[in-house]
A and B are shown apart, each in its own frame.
Chain A
Amino acid sequence: MAQNINYRLGKSKSFRGLVIFFSILCTLPLFLILFYIIREGIIHINWNFLINLPKPVGETGGGIANALIGSLLIVFYAAVIAIPFGIMGGIYLSENKNSWLSYWCRLSVDVLQGTPSIVVGIVIYFWIVKPLGTFSALSGSIALAVMMLPIIVRSTEETLKLLPSTLKEAGLALGLPYHKVMLRIILPCGFSGVLSGIILAVARIAGETAPLLFTAFGNPYFTTDISKPMQSLPLLIFNYATSPYDEWHNLAWGAALILLLWILLLNIITKITTRRWKIQF
Chain B
Amino acid sequence: MENTILRSIDFDAYFGDNHVVKKVNMDIPKNNVIAVMGPSGCGKTTFLRCINRMHELIEGAKTKGKMLLNEEDVYSMHPIFVRHKIGMVFQRPNPFPNLSIYDNVIAGYKLNGMKITRADRDAIVESSLQKAALWNEVKDSLHKKGTFLSGGQQQRLCIARAIAMEPEILLLDEPTSALDPISTSSIEELLHELKKNYTLIIVTHNMQQAGRVSDRTAFFYMGELIEYDVTKNMFTNPRDERTQNYITGRFS
Contacts and interface: CB of A to CB of B under 8 A. Distances in A.
B80 A175 contact: yes
A160 to B, nearest CB: 13
A180 to B, nearest CB: 5
Contacts of A166: 90-92, 94
A185 B87 CA distance: 18
A220 interface: no
B57 A167 contact: no
Interface residues of A, number: 23
A176 B54 contact: no
A281 interface: yes
A169 B57 contact: yes
A279 B87 CA distance: 26
A174 B162 contact: yes
Nearest to B98: A188
A189 interface: yes
B52 interface: yes
A72 to B, nearest CB: 30
A175 B90 contact: no
A173 interface: yes
B81 A175 contact: yes
B54 A175 contact: no
Nearest to A168: B57
Given A166-B90, A170-B158, A180-B112, A175 B96 contact: no
B92 A175 contact: no
Contacts of A184: 111
Contacts of A133: none
A281 B149 CA distance: 11
B186 interface: no
B9 interface: no
Given A174-B161, A176-B108, A176-B111, A169 B97 contact: no
A166 B52 CA distance: 15
Contacts of A191: 98
B97 A279 contact: yes
Given A174-B107, A175-B112, A176-B108, A280 B147 contact: yes
Interface string A188-225: 11010000000000000000000000000000000000
B97 A281 contact: yes
A167 B87 CA distance: 15
A58 interface: no
B94 A164 contact: yes
Contacts of B147: 279-281
Contact of B52 (A173, A176, A281): A173
Interface string B58-85: 0100000000000000000001111110
Given A175-B83, A188-B98, A279-B97, A169 B165 contact: no
A175 B57 contact: no
B92 A173 contact: no
B232 to A, nearest CB: 31
A178 to B, nearest CB: 9
B88 interface: yes
A171 interface: yes
B165 A174 contact: yes
Contacts of B80: 175-177
A166 B92 CA distance: 8
Contacts of A174: 83, 87, 107-108, 111-112, 161-162, 165
Contacts of A172: 54, 57, 79, 83
A281 B145 CA distance: 10
B84 A175 contact: yes
Contacts of A98: 59
Instruction: Give the interface centre of B88, B90, B94, B145 by most chain A CB atoms within 10 Å.
Output: B94
A174 B107 CA distance: 8
Contacts of A181: 111
Contacts of B165: 174-175
A185 B98 contact: yes
B96 A189 contact: yes
Contacts of B161: 170, 174
Contacts of A279: 97-98, 147
Contacts of A170: 90, 94-96, 158, 161
A185 B111 contact: yes
Interface in A119-141: none
Return the 9 tightest CB-CB contacts between A and B, nearest first: A175-B83, A173-B88, A175-B84, A188-B98, A174-B108, A166-B94, A170-B94, A180-B111, A279-B97
Given A98-B59, A173-B87, 10 more contacts: A169-B57, A169-B90, A169-B94, A172-B57, A172-B79, A174-B112, A175-B112, A176-B112, A191-B98, A280-B145
18 contacts: A164-B94, A166-B91, A166-B94, A167-B96, A170-B158, A171-B96, A172-B54, A172-B83, A173-B54, A173-B87, A173-B88, A173-B90, A174-B111, A175-B83, A176-B107, A184-B111, A185-B96, A188-B98
